[in-house]
Structure 1
Amino acid sequence: MSCNPDTSAEVIARLKDEGRDYVAVGVVHPDLPFMYGDAEVDVDQFDFLVATESEQHGLFQVPHLAPIPDTDYAIGLRASALIADGGTLQLGIGAMGDAIVQSVLLRHQRNEDYRELLKRFDVDEHCAQLVETIGGRGIFEKGLYSATEMFVEGFLHLFQGGILRRPVYDFWALQQLINLGQCNPDQLKPECLVAMAELGVRELRGKDFDVLQYHGFFRDDCYYKEGQLFSASGVSCAANMANPTSQQFIAEHCLGSQLRCGKVMHGGFLLGSGAFYSALRDMQEDERRKLAMCGVDKINQLDQNPRLYKAQRQTARFINTGLNVSLNGAVASDTLENGQVLSGVGGQYNFVAMAHQLGGGRSVLMIRASRVQGGKALSNVVASYGACTIPRHLRDIIVTEYGIADLRSKTDEEVCIALINIADSRFQDELLAGAKAAGKLSPSYTVPLQFRNNLPHVISAKVAWARAKGMMPAYPFGCDFTEAELDAAKCLKAAADLSLTQKIVAIINGGEETELASRILSVLGLCEPLGFKDKLIKRLIQRLAR
């Protein structure tokens, strides 16, 4: 199923279980990479196979269009310091996710520069203890594993960069032994058998044997039948891992030399640019097999196999984005206060809840401290809000461009203080007044001086310094726009940030058709406006592109 085993496999399984009639149609596309895991299904699952051609139906692509904003780079840098070596990572799509990937690559490949950035962005000054406790500043010696609903392009860069390389295996006791350091995947020893029995693995079942043999724990020339393990010569013993006689027999005749077929990522579906699909298609099969696709019923919760998934997802960091955060720690990510829905929730709620279920797991929600709407700056840290995606009882870590707020297990007053400290300083006084009026803060509390300079131009200056050093490039993973298209996008963004009054004034004043304006108008097809609206847009662009 290539890019989409996320819900398809589950739907078909449910239809079969319910005895319902259905027709399954598979569309064969030559440009889709052949992925493994649950994406690999028997052809008999389909009633019809339909062939298509690239020229007729191109793959849906998410091109690299906009540069990573300064705010997102500051947020991504901070979030990257919360990721623990040897842990688990989940990311969403978008500029903030790309900023995290670039920061993680910098941490691993240019570690001294990365540490300098943490100092310049005051991470060491304000969040040193949190970073040391749950994250890190060093390179990824053990590597990362990913369990993510969306296999975004950033994970490919982490894989190619040698960071996404911690393999996991599909037998709970085996994975636990690896986590405990009692099983070396590169050199299996008889002691593993005793340790596995001590974990509670005794009578092996056929399906357990199959999984362990798939991963190389048992040699390919041995086999299981009716509660017995048989060697290549046909001699057998009871398939009882706790029996000393069986342990000796297995060590001599059945134990493999090293593990194989580990997965460094489990993803529900993949989405990205044409270059992303091409890179996966061209990847060697043994490498592509490490990037396993499976249903979201396995990714987004622990219910299906809690012992296994908890063992695999150690020190998990589930990193997602939100629209705003209220001073009680609740986050709105999909819906505005008036009920307008901006996006689906996706797996965000599941991952936040899972972070609280997993030992060492943490949820990280990234939120821009402010936004410009109708030409006016507004705070995304708010006193209260009439919509909620993540409730206050699941509050955990919030990251803005100005800092990190660790909200887990904190009192309401501590949460208020932590969030106001990472809010835009232009709105801190208003937030303080609201919190005090609600009885959440002591009347005498004031924002410490070190948090009173949370302003956009401060962040821009720091990012500019990093960009000049090649640490925070505008397009770290390439751009699919031409220079003229980039100019047009920048101009349209500037127009969108204007208030209605500012737009009217700009249109009235107009401007000369500079070389820049001509290029932009050509890209937008407005060289010869046909209607009144097009003429107004042309005058606005001529005014802005000076």
Structure 2
Amino acid sequence: MRLGLPLGLGKPNQLANALYRHIRENPRRQLTLYTALSLGRPLAGGELQRRFLEPFVERIYGDYPELDYLRDLRSGSLPENIRVEEFYLQPGSLLDSAPAQQNYISCNYSHVARDINAKGVNAVAQLVARDPARPGKLSLACNPDITLDLLPMLQRRRAAGETIVTIGVVHDQLPYMPGDAEVDEDFFDLLVDAPGDSSTLFSTPNMPVGLQDHCIGLHASALVRDGGTLQVGIGSMGDALTSALLTRHRDNAGYRALLDSLDSTARHAELIERDGGLAAFEQGLYGCSEMFVPGLLALAEAGVLSRRVAARPGSSPSEPGVWLHGGFFLGPQAFYRRLREMPREELAGIGMTGIGFVNNLYRDEELKREQRRYARFINSAFTVTLLGAGVADQLEDGRVLSGVGGQYNFVAQAHELEGGRSILMLRSWRESEGELSSNIVWSYGHTTIPRHLRDMVVTEYGVADLRGRNDAEVIAALLAIADSRFQDELIAQAQEAGKLPKDFELDARYRDNTPERLREATRDLRELLPEFPLGCDFTEHERELLRALGWLKSKLKLSEILELGKATLDAPEPEAFPVHLQRMGLAKPDGLREELYQRLVLAGLKASAEPSR
């Protein structure tokens, strides 16, 4: 059996587990799973994280059925007669899984249907939604992305005599999406329709957005042109961009004050005038994004995503059209609930469809060019080289963090669409276990976006417009948005390679790129930079603990006793945070180890207090 399962939310976990167990117990049978983004509950990396996560995971994930094959991938116990090939991994979760790393398929999202069809996939199974008001119909809901592209290929193989089976599993909590996502019941050969077996849908709780990400989002938001097109990815930088766009529309004076505080309007006045804008959205934006993230829904409900286009080629001019074309969705439980409760006429504005339509420019190219005017494809990277290459999927040693997904698709589109721009959001620096390092580097052993496709890069310090520039200009532009603690070393490396003149001098305006300047500049505007701009699943005390644990992780090697001891010297007394300690099971520590954990938590709570966030 060569079984295709959707990426992310649309996997029928219970069916997949039943098939997996059956074939695992029958070693003469062979199973290959083709999928991506196999989702599992977050796992704790240490004792403190475990104490924080376990109650939260129980509350949020409930009876979500874990994937048996994912458990065995993580533990290295996948049976010999079963192979799992994924083209996108849950970020950072399988770095140490040899089978996952060895069987990872590096390909563009838009090529997946072609590639798994060529491998002979002979079964497809996915979750579907049912609506009593639509008898005889089902919805591919969260995942029409690959299924709609793959179906014609499977039909041709069936016509040639191959045996291929399609299986739908109805989930009563899955939002019913209309349009291209809606199919006839006979779309599937087998239908499992047992609503009582539906379990908790996997969700991705919104994580906190810090000042560094907020500044990145603010700079990027000024590059979005009214009347244009928006694509954005998942994560806190994407949430920060959404927050900035919402502020731009709802509180324009506050928005401009934030940009002025960061000196963005002065540094990038010409760029903003040419490619972006600062005014509220009168014409509105159209969304064209492989992933329908919760932020896009928030933008639509605020009136920002309001430019409608034809839902599909050949649509009647009298149809109201859609404000978004998307391939799949994933988000918090509140996001699913909002979609379930949305009236059908409102849902009609969301065009869930095949990834071939969203991620490609070819096929229906004239229509797409008309719809995707002034496109801003905004994604993230974890490293950018001084010559303009972006790194987003793989470490230098070859281990895959996540995958290419659709990032390359959108970067390439940006270069082909008139007025289109690709924007890579990047934190200029990071801190791990007390070690500081620059995310702008001279070179890196792998690239996701080659430097010949360089376009715009945005850090918390500003925007580097790299399109069409020579190498020395690219280097100078990236140095201007690098953290000042690393600029001299980067300049020396570029000069040693002969890529910068020996007498190069970085403009003094960019020599104060420091976190302290950003904190001071925005100190009086913090109410416009919410920690959770799109809502939150954490309690107030959990939010404070989350900040404390993040601080501990960034500052300390939690395996080194000496560092831990130093960190606890100035910790406040337990009476200062009784509820927090109770939540962590450390109100009454039992033994020296728990006393140390208690002091660490107290130290983290003190250090990560709100005024210094």
Select 1:360's aligned residue among 419, 425, 428.
Answer: 419
Q: Aligned match of 1:388 in 438, 444, 447?
A: 447
Q: Tell me the distance in 1 between the aligned counterparts of 2:321 and 2:165.
A: 34
Change (3 A) 1:357 1:512: closer
- 8 A contact 1:102–1:476 mirrored in 2: yes
Shift in CA distance, 142/379, structure 1 to aligned 2, threshold 3 Å: same
Hey, what's the Cα distance between the residues in 2 that align with 1:45 and 1:528? 59
What per-residue deviation string (whole Å, max 9, x for no partner) do you get for residues 266-325 of structure 1?
000111111111111221211110111001111111122212211211110000000111
Residues 453-502 of structure 1, C-alpha deviations (whole Å, 9 max, x = no match): 100111122333221xx321222222211122122212211221124389
Aligned partners of 1:465 and 1:335: how far apart in 2? 39
Q: Partner of 1:272 in structure 2? A: 331
Please say if 1:23 is aligned against 2:165: yes
Matched, 1:136 2:277: yes
> Residue 266 of structure 2 aligns with which residue?
125
Letter of the 2:257 counterpart: E
Q: Deviations over 1:117-137 (max 9, x none)?
A: 222211121111111111111
**Secondary structure of the corresponding residue to residue 504 of structure 2:** coil
1:498 equivalenced with 2:555 (yes/no): yes
SS at the partner of 2:325?
strand
Distance verdict in 2 for CA 1:155–1:545, change over 3 Å: closer
Give the corresponding residue for 1:92.
Answer: 233
What amino acid is aligned across from residue 541 of structure 1 in structure 2?
A: V
Per the TM alignment, residue 401 of structure 1 is displaced from its structure 2 partner at its CA by 0.3
Match of 1:50 in 2: 192
Shift in alpha-carbon separation, 1:512–1:401, aligned structure 2, 3 A:
closer
1:167, distance to aligned residue in structure 2 (A): 1.0
Tell me the secondary structure at the aligned position of residue 500 of structure 1. coil
Where does structure 1 lack aligned partners over 5 or more consecutive residues? 173-210, 217-258
Q: Is the 8 A contact 1:108 1:163 kept in 2?
A: yes
Change (3 A) 1:341 1:518: farther
Give, in whole Å, the separation in 2 of the partners of 1:455 and 1:92. 26
1:261 Cα offset (Å): 3.0
C-alpha distance in structure 2 between counterparts of 1:531 and 1:61, whole Å: 37
* AA aligned opposite 1:61: S
**Structure 1 SS opposite 2:165:** coil
CA distance in 1, matches of 2:597, 2:356: 48
Identity of aligned residues (%): 45
- 10, 13, 23: which is aligned to 2:149? 10
CA contact (8 A) 1:75 1:366 kept: yes
Matched AA of 1:6: D
Instruction: Write the letter of the residue equivalent to 2:221.
Output: S
**Cα pair distance change 1:26/1:408, threshold 3 Å:** same
Which of 517, 541, 550 is the equivalent residue of 1:484? 541
Residues of 2 paired with 1:452 and 1:123: CA distance?
A: 15
Q: Is the 8 A contact 1:517 1:541 kept in 2?
A: no
SS of corresponding position for 1:266: strand
CA distance in 2, matches of 1:533, 1:527: 13
Per the TM alignment, residue 171 of structure 1 is displaced from its structure 2 partner at its CA by: 7.2
Instruction: Give CA deviations for 1:127-156 in whole Å, capped at 9, x if unaligned.
Output: 111111111111211111011000000011
**Alignment check: 8 A CA contact 1:507 1:543 kept:** no
Aligned residue number for residue 113 of structure 2? none
Match of 1:159 in 2: 300
Cα 1:443/1:532, change in 2 over 3 Å: same
Alpha-carbon spacing, 1:487–1:108, altered in 2? closer, same or farther (3 Å): closer
CA distance in 2, matches of 1:369, 1:276: 31
1:50-89 → structure 2 map (5 Å cutoff): 50-53=192-195, 56-64=198-206, 66-89=207-230
Tell me the CA shift for residue 542 of structure 1.
Answer: 4.6
Which segments of 5 or more consecutive residues in structure 2 lack a partner in the other structure? 1-139, 607-613
Query: CA, structure 1 residues 322+36, in 2 after alignment: closer, same or farther (shift >3 Å)?
Result: same
Distance in 2 between residues matched to 1:48 and 1:395, nearest whole Å: 47
**Matched-pair contact (CA < 8 Å) for 2:262–2:522:** no
User: Of 507, 515, 525, which aligns to 1:466?
Assistant: 525
Q: Which of 257, 262, 285 is 1:116 aligned to? A: 257
Instruction: Write out per-residue CA displacement over residues 339-361 of structure 1, whole angstroms, 9 at most, x where no aligned residue.
Output: 22211121101100111111111
The 2-side partners of 1:296 and 1:516 are apart by 52
CA separation of 1:166 and 1:515: change in aligned 2, threshold 3 A: same
Within-5 A mapping of 1:189-200: none
For residues 474 and 376 of structure 1, the distance between their equivalents in structure 2, rounded to whole angstroms, comes to: 25
Are the equivalent residues in 2 in contact too, given 1:397–1:405 (CA < 8 A)? yes
SS in 2 for 1:442: coil
Counterpart in the other structure of 2:375: 316
Aligned counterparts of 2:196 and 2:605: Cα–Cα separation in 1: 38
Q: For residues 230-258 of structure 1, what are the alpha-carbon distances to aligned partners after superposition, in whole Å with 9 as ceiling and x for unaligned?
A: xxxxxxxxxxxxxxxxxxxxxxxxxxxxx
- What is the distance in 2 between the residues matched to 1:29 and 1:132? 48
* Corresponding residue for residue 365 of structure 2: 306
Higher mean C-alpha deviation, range 346-355 or range 471-480? 471-480
Could you tell me whether the CA contact under 8 Å between 1:93 and 1:152 is conserved in 2? yes
Query: Could you tell me how far 1:109 is from its partner in structure 2?
Result: 1.7
1:105 maps to 246
1:515 and 2:593 correspond: no
**What RMSD, in angstroms, separates the aligned Cα atoms of the two structures?**
2.2
Does the 8 Å contact 1:413/1:441 carry over to 2?
Answer: yes
TM-score, normalising length: structure 2:
0.72
Higher RCO by CA contacts (8 Å cutoff, separation 6 or greater) = 1
2:30 corresponds to: none
Contact conserved, 1:73 with 1:463, CA < 8 A, in 2? Answer: no
Instruction: For residue 7 of structure 1, report the CA deviation from its aligned partner.
Output: 1.0
Q: Is the 8 A contact 2:169 2:191 kept in 1?
A: yes
Size of the alignment, in residue pairs? 461
Deviation for aligned residue 1:52: 4.6
Question: C-alpha distance in 1, partners of 2:163/2:372?
Answer: 37
**1:328 maps to what in 2?**
387
Answer whether contact 2:430 2:438 (CA < 8 A) is retained.
Answer: yes
Structure 2 counterpart of 1:460, one-letter code: R
Distance 1:293 1:516, change over 3 A: farther
Instruction: Report the residue type matching 1:215 in the other structure.
Output: S
Instruction: Give the Cα–Cα distance (whole angstroms) in 1 for the partners of residues 412 and 276 of structure 2.
Output: 20
Tell me, what secondary structure is at the counterpart of 2:328? strand
Query: Residue by residue, what CA displacement relative to the aligned partner does 1:348-392 show, whole Å, maximum 9, x if unpaired?
Result: 011001111111110000000100022021111111111110000
> 1:371 is matched with which residue: 430, 439, 445?
430
SS of 1:38 mapped into structure 2: helix
